[in-house]
Structure 1
């Protein structure tokens, strides 16, 4: 490969690296309001409505999620029942631990390893790897979740689905306390 072809390729790779490092941290939102209290919001029954988009931004699915969250001290269980517009149903049960410093860890059957998150101001951010069903098999992807509390009873959740460092899809949910 000639030097003339390598230079533009290296510039593109460097640009992608810089862009991927430029996302705000959760600390950026420390003065935003209303204050997001994870345990308070995720208690009792909740309902979510959302869409899934592919890497081009095209709508691929719609979904509704029924949730039930309960707590015993700092230990919580969040049950999520997903129903997609094509009739597929999924269930995820989170076991979460809320720490005094507004950090949270969580596990679920389809989550590889431990989800780690933090709340600041009106925002909660967490990151985890998921084994998604795909074409009769599973695909291991990263979920980068940003939750924005709009009111004390409603939040917007944006999830980037990333594979090999590239966003391959996005999920947007509106979650409401019932």
Structure 2
């Protein structure tokens, strides 16, 4: 009697987990304005303010990022300089190239393989594996990273981080182009 109950519970849990993985297709936003031009938005200097939250909602880290973008609409570099609320710093340099389908392919030192980016309307969806140092070891974190252009100056980013299919937390950022400063 207990085995069918356990099997049914596991099946329901698995179905719920798979449904949680199903999100909107980036093409859902293809007609939403303003249209995001990734290379144009990140050209020059952009500031971002963000936080990392555990899956229970607890904020465990806040940060500011200064991003310098150079290149053109086919290939460019994003030099990200992080300053965390505990005083630590980090740098990530992305090398981005335009994919044949109009999306983007990205590489960075702490990203395993390639990041795949798809753009539609005001949205960009990045998917990649971030190699994250945690307590003396390195975790391969699956990133499902969504960016939404709000206006010519502002973009909001929300990324889900998971390990072995289980969400560990979320990263939320607000970007603001310096060219838009008053």
Establish whether TM, by shorter chain, passes 0.5.
Answer: yes
The answer to which of 39-48 and 97-106 deviates more is 97-106
Matched position secondary structure for 1:151: coil
Instruction: State the distance in 1 between where 2:4 and 2:82 align.
Output: 51
Q: Does 1:71 align with 2:71?
A: yes
Greater than 4 Å deviation, 4+ residue runs: none
Q: Does 1:162 align with 2:173?
A: no
1:36/1:100 CA distance change after superposition, 3 Å: farther
Instruction: State the distance in 1 between where 2:153 and 2:138 align.
Output: 34
Ranges in structure 1 where 5+ consecutive residues have no aligned partner:
none
* CA distances 1:78-100 after superposition (whole Å, capped 9, x unpaired): 00001110111110000000246
Ranges in structure 2 where 5+ consecutive residues have no aligned partner:
none
Q: Is the 8 A contact 2:48 2:64 kept in 1?
A: yes
Matched position secondary structure for 2:150: strand
Matched position secondary structure for 1:61: strand
Q: Is the 8 A contact 2:40 2:73 kept in 1?
A: no
Q: How far did residue 110 of structure 1 move?
A: 0.4
Q: Does 1:172 align with 2:144?
A: no
Matched position secondary structure for 2:35: coil
Task: Name the structure 1 match of 2:4.
Answer: 3
TM-score w.r.t. length of structure 2: 0.93
Query: In angstroms, what is the RMSD of aligned CA positions?
Result: 1.3
* CA distances 1:40-91 after superposition (whole Å, capped 9, x unpaired): 1010001000111001111101000011000145110000001110111110
Q: Is the 8 A contact 1:102 1:120 kept in 2?
A: no
Task: Name the structure 1 match of 2:14.
Answer: 13
How many residue pairs align between the two structures?
Answer: 177
Q: How far did residue 15 of structure 1 move?
A: 2.0
Matched position secondary structure for 2:17: helix
